[in-house]
Chain A
Amino acid sequence: MNPIKIVVAGTANPHIPHYLNGYGRDTSTAEFIAVADFDEKRLDQAKTSLKSRPGTQFFSDWREMLDACPDAEAIMIGSDNKSHFEMFKEAVSRKLHIYSMKVVSMDTDECAKLLALTKDYDRTIQVELELHFRPQFQYAKKLVAAGTLGEIESIYLTNISQSPINYFPNWGDPELSYGKVVPIRPGADVFRGGALTDHPHPFDMIRWITGHEFKQVYAVSARNQRAHLKVEDHIAITGELDNGTKVFVNPSYSHLEEKVATRRLLWPKSLECNLKITGTKGYYATDFYDKHVYVVGNHHQSPDRLIVDGTGQVILRPDDSLMGCFAACVRGEREKPESSLADGIAAVNVMNAAYESVYQGKTISVKKQAPPQHLSGIHNGR
C-alpha cells in the first residue's frame, strides 16, 4: 500500500503528538507532508517530532497549508474542538479524506450540519475512537454478538484518566473544548468541556458492543478534585439503552497527576477502562490494561514511582490499527472505517444529554433532547 499523503491541521489535541512521534516516523501507512498550528510552541514541538522527516512543511495557518499542499490526499483535524467544524467544512470542500480527532464538535447544530454536508461524500471520514482497536473490547463485541453471555442485563464501563490540562492548558478552556461557555449547573463556576467532553469512548463502546442506542441518561458531577480547573473533572452517569439494558458510565479525570507542565502521574495508572457486562448466561470483565506491566524507572515519564503500563497486541492485518484502517479505506482496500462520523456524533448526543442531566438534575431522554434555552445564542458568553 502506498502511504497516504496527509496534512495535520492543528496539534492542540493531546493525541496528536502520539501520531507525530509514532506514525510520523512510520511511513508505511501515512506520510505527514505538512503540519499547521497557530501556536508557536506547539509547532516547534511538531518540528522536533518530525525532524527525521526533512520534507515535512510547517505552517502557522491551516488554510495556508491546504493551499500550499495540493497533493494532500487527507487531513488530520487535530485542533481544539472549537475549530473542528470550520476545518471539517473546508476539508469537504477540497474533497479530502478526513481523519478527525474526537470529539468532532459538542455543538448539536454543527453536528447536524456536518452529517448533512457529508451525506453523499465519497471520501473516507474516520473519527478517532481508538478503543475499537483494542482486542479485549473487540472480544466483548464478539461475545455479545454470539450470544455467549445471553441477554445483556447491565453494562458498567469506566473511562477514568488523569487530567491532561496541566500540560495541555487549552484542554481546560471551556470555550476551546466545549465550543461555548456553559456552567455545569446553574450559577456554577465550573463549566462544561472537561472530562466528559474528553471521553466519548464509553458511549461509543456501549453502542458498538451492543448495537443499541442510549434511550435516557441521568448524571451527577461532584465538586472538582482540582480547584484550579474551570471545567468538570468528575461525572458519573447511569442510563438505559433502547432495549432496556441498564448502564453505568464514569468518564472522569479521577486519577490525580502532579501539577507540573509535563505528564507526571500520581495515581499509578493513567487510564482505567473497566468494562463489565452481565448477561443472563454469563459475565465478561476486562480493562484497558488487561495485559499489564509494572515499571519503576528513573527516566520514565513519571520518574521514580510505581507505574502501571500496558503491553502490546498482535496486529494480524494492517487495518487492525487506527491509521492502518484509515489508509485501507482511502486506498479502497476496506469499505468503511471502523468508527464513522455518525458514530462520533451519536456519542456526542449522549454526552450532551448527560451534561443536560447534571444541569437540570433530572433524567434526560437522548433521542427527544430539545435544544435547551440556556444554550441558545451562547457562543462567546464568558
Chain B
Amino acid sequence: MNDNARVSPLAASMRGGTGFHSSYPLREWALVKKIRQMTQDNTCGELRSLRFTWQRPKKQAAEEQTFLYQTLPWLLDIAWFLADAPLTSLHIESVPGKNSLFALAMFANGVAAEIELNECLPDSMPATNFIKANFTHGHLTNQPIVGHFNEEGSILANDNEMRRMVIENSDWDDCGDEIELCHRSMLRSIERGEHPAGPLNSAAIIQAIQEALR
C-alpha cells in the first residue's frame, strides 16, 4: 500500500474525498470487534456506556501532538464506532504539560464514553488498555475483575520499582508480604490470648509427613 494514501486523523480532518485511508488502527483491536459483534448480535442488550483505560509509562509516552491528535482520536473513533451514533459533546480535563487527561463524550443515542488517558505512569510499570462496555442486560470487558493488573493487593510504583502490597492496617505500612502479616497477626493474637495454646495438630502433621516421605 502506498504510505501517502494512509494519513493521520489530524491530516484526514483537513482532507476530503476517498483517495486515502485515515489511520484508525484500534478499529482492528479484537476487543473492539468483539464488543461490536456482540452489540449487533444483541448478546447483552443495548449499549449504554463505555469506559476506556489507556495507560503508558513515561518512557513510552508519545509527543504531545500525537497524544492529543492521534491517540485521543483513536479512542473517540472506536467509542463512536461502538456507540454507532454521532458524537454530540466532548469535555476534556487535561493535566497541563503532561500526557494525562480525562475525557467525557456523549453520543446522540445517549451512550456515554469515559476516557482515562495517562502516559505519566512510572517507568517501572507496564502499559494497560482496557474497555468496559455496559449494556442494558450485561457487560463486556477485558478489564480485570479484581486488582489493578488482576493481581491481589495494591500497587505502589516509582520509576525504579513497582511493588504489590497487602495492607491489613495502615499502621503496618511495611505491608508487602501477606505471609509476614500473618506472622505479625499471630503474635498479636498470642498476646491477646486469642491464639490456642499447646501443640495443636503438630504431632499428627509431622508424623504424616515423615510417613509420607519414607
Chain A residues in the interface with B (C-beta under 8 A): 135-136, 138-139, 141-143, 148, 153-154, 156, 218-227, 234, 236-240, 244, 246-248, 250, 252, 254-256, 266-269, 274, 276, 278, 281-287, 289-292, 308, 313-316, 320, 361, 363
In the bound complex, CA of A223 to CA of B109 (Å):
8
**B102 touches which of A156, A244, A361 (Cβ 8 Å):** A156
Contacts of A289 in B (CB 8 A): 146-147
In the bound complex, CA of A260 to CA of B129 (Å):
34
**B135 touches which of A141, A218, A225, A283 (Cβ 8 Å):** A225
Q: Is B155 an interface residue (CB 8 A)?
A: yes
Asked if A313 and B169 sit within 8 Å, CB to CB, the answer is yes
- Choose the segment among B5-13, B20-28, B91-99 that binds chain A (4+ C-beta atoms closer than 8 Å): B91-99
Asked if B155 and A286 sit within 8 Å, CB to CB, the answer is yes
In the bound complex, CA of A156 to CA of B115 (Å):
11
In the bound complex, CA of A139 to CA of B165 (Å):
11
Nearest A residue (CB) for B168: A314
**A267 touches which of B106, B139, B148 (Cβ 8 Å):** B139
* Cβ of A135 to closest chain B Cβ, rounded Å: 5
* Cβ of B97 to closest chain A Cβ, rounded Å: 10
A154-B118, A256-B137, A282-B156 known; A246-B95 Cβ under 8 A: yes
In the bound complex, CA of A308 to CA of B143 (Å):
14
- Choose the segment among B31-39, B59-67, B119-127, B204-212 that binds chain A (4+ C-beta atoms closer than 8 Å): B119-127
In the bound complex, CA of A174 to CA of B26 (Å):
40
CB-defined interface of B154-176 with A at 8 Å, one 1/0 digit per residue? Answer: 11111000000111111111010
Asked if B91 and A238 sit within 8 Å, CB to CB, the answer is yes
**A222 touches which of B103, B112, B118 (Cβ 8 Å):** B112
Q: Is B116 an interface residue (CB 8 A)?
A: yes
Asked if A361 and B139 sit within 8 Å, CB to CB, the answer is no
Asked if B167 and A136 sit within 8 Å, CB to CB, the answer is yes
In the bound complex, CA of A136 to CA of B173 (Å):
10
Instruction: For chain B, residues 39 to 96, give those with C-beta under 8 angstroms from any C-beta of chain A.
Output: 48-49, 51, 89, 91, 93-96
In the bound complex, CA of A215 to CA of B134 (Å):
30
Chain B residues in the interface with A (C-beta under 8 A): 48-49, 51, 89, 91, 93-96, 98, 100-106, 109-112, 114, 116, 118, 120-122, 125, 132, 134-139, 145-148, 152-158, 165-173, 175, 178, 181, 185, 188
Count chain B CB atoms within 10 A of each CB in A224, A244, A254, A255 and give the residue with the most.
A254
Contacts of A283 in B (CB 8 A): 121-122, 125, 155-158
In the bound complex, CA of A227 to CA of B103 (Å):
26
In the bound complex, CA of A284 to CA of B153 (Å):
11
A234-B48, A278-B118, A278-B121 known; A220-B154 Cβ under 8 A: no
Contacts of A363 in B (CB 8 A): 91
Asked if A284 and B116 sit within 8 Å, CB to CB, the answer is no
Nearest A residue (CB) for B175: A139
In the bound complex, CA of A320 to CA of B171 (Å):
11
In the bound complex, CA of A257 to CA of B49 (Å):
16
Nearest B residue (CB) for A310: B146
A222-B112, A256-B137, A314-B185 known; A239-B146 Cβ under 8 A: no
In the bound complex, CA of A136 to CA of B171 (Å):
11
**A239 touches which of B93, B112, B153, B157 (Cβ 8 Å):** B93
**Interchain residue pairs with CB less than 8 A apart (15):** A136-B170, A139-B173, A153-B98, A220-B91, A220-B112, A222-B49, A234-B49, A246-B93, A246-B94, A246-B101, A248-B116, A250-B114, A267-B139, A276-B148, A291-B166
In the bound complex, CA of A366 to CA of B102 (Å):
19
**B89 touches which of A139, A220, A246 (Cβ 8 Å):** A220
Contacts of B139 in A (CB 8 A): 254-256, 267
In the bound complex, CA of A313 to CA of B178 (Å):
12
**B153 touches which of A223, A227, A291, A308 (Cβ 8 Å):** A291
* Cβ of B183 to closest chain A Cβ, rounded Å: 12
Count chain B CB atoms within 10 A of each CB in A135, A136, A255, A283 and give the residue with the most.
A283
**A254 touches which of B134, B157, B173 (Cβ 8 Å):** B134
In the bound complex, CA of A281 to CA of B58 (Å):
12
Asked if A278 and B100 sit within 8 Å, CB to CB, the answer is yes
Asked if A223 and B120 sit within 8 Å, CB to CB, the answer is no
Contacts of A135 in B (CB 8 A): 167-170
